[in-house]
Amino acid sequence: MTKDQKNEVIELLKGKFSQYNNFYITDTESLSVEQVSALRRTCFDKQVEMKVAKNTLIRKALESLDAEKYASVYPALNNVTALMFSENPKEPALIISSFRKASNGEKPVLKAAFINGDVYTGDNNLKTLTQIKTKNELIGEVIGLLQSPAKRVLAALLHHHEKQAGTATAE
């Protein structure tokens, strides 16, 4: 790989890291070509971008953006690395989990995940990441909580009004 090609990859990665607040670092080393193709297809269908790059180029791209912000991600940059970029913070975790179930395997392995500034390291965090609530899910819950008391008040007022109307017609 020439120096120009390396710089091109670094610039591409910098663009992806700037574009997405969420990315996963996975190890796809022992997957067959068919499995990698299936994983890429699943990612494409779920609007998750999957990129494979050399660890040193990934590190240089992260360091050029903000070395301190991404410092806890650097230890995960070893062996074969595939990056998964997504707007939805839990979608890559769901893809990895479902892919493992379908293939009855342990791969791909989650090395680290960077979710809105928080870093989750190690494969043991995969289940936690599948349960993260998205922004829209949280907004929906808050709206539901805010609507609940108002609905109770309205129901009580309607019940009270119906009760008074019922006693007036009985008289």
At 52-69, the pLDDT tens digits run 999 999 999 999 998 889
Q: Which pLDDT value is given to residue 61? A: 95
Q: In what order do the strands lie in the sheet with 82-86?
A: 49-52, 82-86, 22-27, 109-115, 118-121
Residue 169 banded pLDDT, cuts 50, 70, 90: low
Higher pLDDT, 161 or 11: 11
Q: What is the mean pLDDT of the chain?
A: 88
pTM, rounded to two decimals: 0.78
Residue 110 has pLDDT above 60, yes or no: yes
**What is the number of H-type helices and E-type strands within the chain?**
6, 5
Residue 72 banded pLDDT, cuts 50, 70, 90: very high
Residue 161 has pLDDT above 80, yes or no: no
Least confident of 24-28, 55-59, 101-105: 101-105
> In angstroms, what CA-CA distances link 159 with 3, 165, 167?
76, 10, 12
Residue 158 has pLDDT above 90, yes or no: no
Q: Which pLDDT value is given to residue 60? A: 95
Q: CA-CA-CA-CA torsion for 71, 72, 73, 78, nearest 10 degrees?
A: 100
- Pick the closest to residue 55 from 77, 32, 27, 87 (CA basis): 77
Higher pLDDT, 171 or 95: 95
